[in-house]
Amino acid sequence: MKIEGSIALVTGGNRGIGRHFVQQLLDRGAAKVYAAARRPETVDVPGAIPLALDITDPDAVAAAAAAAPDLTLLVNNAGTTTGSDLVTGDLTAIRQEIDTNFYGPLTMIRTFAPTLARNGGGGILNVNSRLSWLSYPGANAYAASKAAAWSMTNGVRLELTGQGTQVTGVYLSSTDTDMMAGWDIPKNDPAEVVTVALDGLEAGAPEVLTDQETKEAKAALAT
């Protein structure tokens, strides 16, 4: 997947890691970048095209697909965490995490896959997490949603191979964004995470592990 000349859409493109994706895609020569957000008026990257989108709303996803018929690269970045555990957490909050972190990206892929096929195959980049592979008190609902997103990423990679669509999963540990503001722990630089992710995308990697903690978590699955 080559970024130069591509037409990209980044969900959650108005802040955090998503904003860095938008900026770096443009810096790397993407011909057009749609920065999708629930509040498109908050998109502030020069050259980006704001696009209204709630990935949990199928009608909004369909409208986004109609607005971006030229897409060649989908970056599923939007996500949420509620700080919920599985046994004691509120079920509504747990469902919100599953809806946003699993069903939302899956709906985007199902809706945009025909567009990517028409435009030559292109690529999909799913932003997942080190917590796809481990659990953590205070984030167990998030971990469950990201474990499902890991499996989904592997599944759609197999299903979309025939149409020539590259599917890359990006896995990262805690990163310095608004989502992690309440956690007093070491954090990645989001700009560095995005640089590693896009390097991996262009190298054709099926998975990109952006930091040492994430590499150790994946390796520990064997034990």
Active site positions, annotated: 142
Contacts of 42 (CB under 8 A, 6+ apart): 14, 15
> Could you give the 3-state DSSP secondary structure of residue 153?
helix
Q: Residue 131: which of 63, 214, 196 has the closest Cα?
A: 214
Cα separation, 53 vs 60, in Å, equals 6
Cα separation, 79 vs 29, in Å, equals 26
Cα separation, 1 vs 96, in Å, equals 32
Contacts of 222 (CB under 8 A, 6+ apart): none
Q: Residue 185: which of 113, 137, 126 has the closest Cα?
A: 137
What the block records as the tokens of 54 is: 């709630």
